[in-house]
């Protein structure tokens, strides 16, 4: 074309060849690269299936009592045994998946949205907004979080919605602080300044350039928090808050089963507890997998 386009062809080190085509390829690549992530996704699929299809698949009505079959150990008919009212523990444990996941997903979604908006604004503009937000977050964090959730549910009323709100409130500081920090370090980053020079308004720079770059750590936080939210909700119902009997829920099932553990009827508490563990473990494993997936630097 002209002289100047020829200059660059002089022996410049070549960048690594770009192999990836699209997002799907990348997903496949990450899964192949990391069998643990694959396992996490498989476990997640099992959880989702149990949540969506569970009530339709289980062999017994989770609420149906049967005094003649009370406290049966696990058998072919009752895989996880029966409880003191003769209800099938397996059916109850599977059906509980939906409720437990719903509570935690709703709570985490709420805290994600609130925390992101507040944290991003505080991190980008700073000033009084930042000061006010930190004060509020400091106050929330000044409580042992589970204890605060107890207080909130106790005060606002013993319902499932209030469990969701309480769990959301105690999770907001994590998101808000994370986003605030991530936005803050990128506020003066070259690409943010460059985006401003390219004629973008502050809101657009924040929303389209800075915030998406804060997503990888957010995703990890979401995943870990989902696990934690489940633990939290189950813990609350274990001490008698939120979910009430006879609703099938893991925490309450462990609580009810705990009364029988000293007399040796272990299956009442152990199986729902294992389900709970499985769910939390899945989300914790998923955290690292998600980080790989959303981080474009790993797309090589």
Contact positions with another protein (CB under 8 A) in 163-192: 189-191
- The conformation of residue 11, written as its DSSP 8-state character, comes to S
22 belongs to the binding site for another protein (CB under 8 A): no
8 Å CB contact between 179 and 214? yes
The smaller minimum CB distance to another protein, of residues 29 and 66, is found at 29
Smallest distance from another protein to CB 142, Å:
5
Q: Which residues, 208 to 267, sit near another protein by CB under 8 A?
A: 209, 212-213, 224, 227, 231, 234-235, 238-241, 251, 254-255, 257-258, 261-264, 266
- The conformation of residue 242, written as its DSSP 8-state character, comes to S
User: Which token pair is 131?
Assistant: 């000061």
Smallest distance from another protein to CB 129, Å:
15
8 Å CB contact between 87 and 63? yes
Residue in the structure block whose two tokens are 């444990």 = 93
Contacting residues for 181 by C-beta, under 8 A, at least 6 apart: 123
| Nearest-angstrom CA–CA distance, 149 and 104 | 14
The smaller minimum CB distance to another protein, of residues 33 and 64, is found at 33
Stretch that binds another protein, among 46-54, 77-85, 96-104, 270-278 (CB under 8 A): 270-278
DSSP readout, 264-299?
Answer: T-THHHHHHHHHHHHHHHHHHHHHHHHHHHH-GGG-
Q: Find the binder of another protein among 45, 132, 193, 244 (CB under 8 A).
A: 193
Q: Find the binder of another protein among 171, 273, 291, 292 (CB under 8 A).
A: 273
- The conformation of residue 85, written as its DSSP 8-state character, comes to T
Q: Which residues, 115 to 154, sit near another protein by CB under 8 A?
A: 135-136, 138-152, 154
Smallest distance from another protein to CB 277, Å:
5
The smaller minimum CB distance to another protein, of residues 113 and 194, is found at 194
The smaller minimum CB distance to another protein, of residues 67 and 188, is found at 188
The smaller minimum CB distance to another protein, of residues 246 and 296, is found at 296
67 belongs to the binding site for another protein (CB under 8 A): no
Q: Find the binder of another protein among 24, 56, 67, 197 (CB under 8 A).
A: 197
Smallest distance from another protein to CB 61, Å:
25
| Nearest-angstrom CA–CA distance, 14 and 47 | 45
| Nearest-angstrom CA–CA distance, 178 and 72 | 49
9 belongs to the binding site for another protein (CB under 8 A): yes
Smallest distance from another protein to CB 193, Å:
6
Distance (Å) of CA 269 to CA 75, 80, 201, 258, 272: 16, 10, 56, 6, 6
8 Å CB contact between 206 and 179? no
């Amino acid at each position: 074309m002209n002289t100047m386009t020829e200059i660059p062809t002089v022996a410049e080190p070549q960048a690594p060849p770009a192999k990836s085509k699209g997002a799907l390829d990348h997903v496949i690549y990450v899964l192949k690269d990391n069998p643990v992530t694959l396992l996490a996704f498989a476990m997640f699929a099992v959880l989702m299936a149990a949540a969506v299809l569970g009530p339709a698949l289980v062999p017994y009505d989770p609420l149906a009592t049967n005094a003649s079959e009370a406290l049966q150990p696990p058998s072919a008919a009752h895989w996880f045994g029966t409880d003191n009212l003769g209800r099938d523990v397996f059916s109850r444990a599977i059906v509980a998946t939906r409720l437990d996941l719903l509570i935690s997903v709703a709570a985490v979604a709420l805290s994600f949205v609130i925390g992101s908006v507040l944290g991003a604004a505080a991190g980008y503009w700073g000033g009084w907004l930042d000061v006010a937000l930190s004060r509020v977050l400091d106050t929330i964090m000044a409580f042992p979080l589970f204890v605060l959730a107890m207080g909130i549910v106790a005060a606002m009323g013993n319902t499932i919605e209030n469990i969701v709100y309480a769990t959301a409130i105690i999770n907001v500081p994590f998101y808000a602080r994370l986003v605030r920090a991530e936005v803050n370090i990128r506020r003066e980053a070259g690409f943010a300044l460059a985006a401003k020079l390219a004629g973008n308004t502050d809101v657009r720079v924040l929303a389209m350039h800075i915030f998406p770059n804060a997503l990888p750590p957010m995703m990890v936080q979401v995943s870990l928090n989902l696990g934690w939210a489940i633990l939290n909700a189950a813990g609350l119902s274990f001490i008698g808050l939120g979910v009430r009997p006879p609703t099938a829920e893991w925490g309450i099932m462990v609580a009810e089963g705990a009364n029988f553990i000293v007399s040796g009827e272990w299956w009442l508490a152990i199986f729902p507890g294992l389900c709970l563990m499985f769910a939390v473990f899945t989300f914790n494993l998923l955290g690292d997998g998600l980080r790989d997936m959303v981080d474009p630097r790993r797309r090589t």
